[in-house]
Amino acid sequence: MNIVNSTIRDIKSLKIQSATNVRKRAVLALVKSSTASKTKSENEFRKEFLKNANLLFCARPTEPELRTALRIIKKSISREGLSVNEMKEKIIQTAKNYEVDRLVSLKSVAEFGASLIEPNSVILTHCHSSSVVETLIKAKKKISKVYCCEARPLYQGRMTVSDLTRAGIDATLIVDNAASTLMKECDYFFTGADAILADGDVINKIGTNQLSTVCKRYEVLHYVCTSSHKFEPASFYGKKEPMEQRDSDEVWEKKARGKVKILNPAFDRTDSKYIEGIITELGVFSPEQLTSVLYRKLQLEKHRKDFLKL
């Protein structure tokens, strides 16, 4: 099995988890498959590159960060008349530059996020987000306690609570349904994002919308920590972000459940009106402000939806 197919298999099975890791491994697979290509002509190389890029592009629904990275790499070799070796070098360099940019972005998100947290704060988290973890570690001295939801059925919250505990933060894992009870103690609800949409709504791990709604009742501030790379520009053109439905066996194996039907959505959509702010490498914005900024930055008024295709 080649590296592209094995990476897709690992993404689909969730052996590779979190948007950041999915993007890193997919980009690595594309770079390795491209540099190992035996094709000699420009057209043959482009055809092979686009085939592999498209396979990775579709590896998992609800992954705008992955799509953004692949679009940027594709753009780097868009000029006609490049030799195969020139394209390989551009792909390698663009991927390296992108990773450096993402590390810088992560540091900026953490700094902006940490500056918002007041001393002696109690924080609730859901699922696992590299941006949230880095933000809370940055604000470590101002945090009294963190409650981490399990994020069933695959328990990504265990990753978060382990990361925070290793960093010396007082973090406690809680069952998902305990969140509303403990929320009365909390000052903030911090989550990541798998996608930011044109209207400012955020797609994240299933359960985020439910918790964000309860936050409003208890006056707990919901902040989303994410890079602007999670923005899906196609949503400006009316394209709906797909919501992944996971295998029922993750919840209850078929051998045990028999004919019982299972619904196992991976994500939900949180209304922008419940979100206090979205923390990005560009700064902290209300959801509507951020999408306006990104609309102008990407000059979307000059394009049509098909420019986003690979």
**Residue whose token pair is 């993402």:** 102
- 191 phi/psi in degrees, rounded to 5: -135, 165
Displacement of CA 62 from its chain's centroid (Å)? 8
Out of 10, 163, 194, 201, which one is annotated catalytic? Answer: 194
**Residues paired with residue 222 on neighbouring β-strands, in sequence order:** 189
The radius of gyration of the chain's CA atoms, rounded to the nearest angstrom, is 20
- 194 carries an active-site annotation: yes
Q: What three-state secondary structure class fits 196?
A: strand
Query: For residue 225, what are the CA distances in angstroms to 58, 132, 183?
Result: 25, 6, 19
Q: What three-state secondary structure class fits 231?
A: strand
User: Could you tell me which residues come within 8 angstroms of residue 176 by beta carbon, excluding any fewer than 6 positions away?
Assistant: 149, 150, 151, 152, 207
- 225 carries an active-site annotation: no
Out of 10, 127, 163, 215, which one is annotated catalytic? Answer: 127
Best CA proximity match to 109, nearest among 132, 143, 137:
132
Active site (catalytic) residues = 127, 194
